């Protein structure tokens, strides 16, 4: 996943975990778990997105995905880095 190395090198990007696939036929978030683990391994910040077109889908499965990401980070012995955007500037928040 060479492109993730470039994302890490720039230090100015986050990877979105998009939950829309969870309520579509594919029944999984994008990207898949192995890519999420690769991001955590490289300490690339993650951000959650609903891609909601209905209010009932806003925040859908965020808590479950956060728990899953924390478990991945713990198993990899890496911090879970979440991106927080404020006025188009990314800040990092760490979960352990």
**54: which DSSP letter?**
S
pLDDT one-digit tens code per residue, 44-65: 999 998 888 888 888 888 999 9
Give me the domain span that covers residue 81.
2-95
Q: How many domains does the chain have?
A: 1
| Prediction pTM value | 0.84
User: pLDDT at position 85, please?
Assistant: 79
Q: Which segments within 7-86 are labelled E, that is strand?
A: 15-18, 46-49, 80-86
């Amino acid at each position: 996943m060479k492109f993730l190395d470039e994302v890490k090198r720039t230090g100015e990007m986050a990877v979105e975990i998009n939950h829309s696939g969870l309520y579509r036929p594919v029944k999984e978030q994008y990207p898949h778990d192995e890519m999420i683990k690769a991001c955590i391994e490289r300490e690339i910040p993650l951000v959650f997105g609903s891609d909601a077109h209905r209010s009932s889908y806003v925040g859908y499965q965020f808590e479950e995905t956060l728990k899953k990401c924390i478990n991945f980070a713990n198993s990899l012995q890496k911090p879970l880095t979440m991106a927080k955007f404020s006025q188009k500037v990314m800040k990092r928040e760490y979960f352990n």
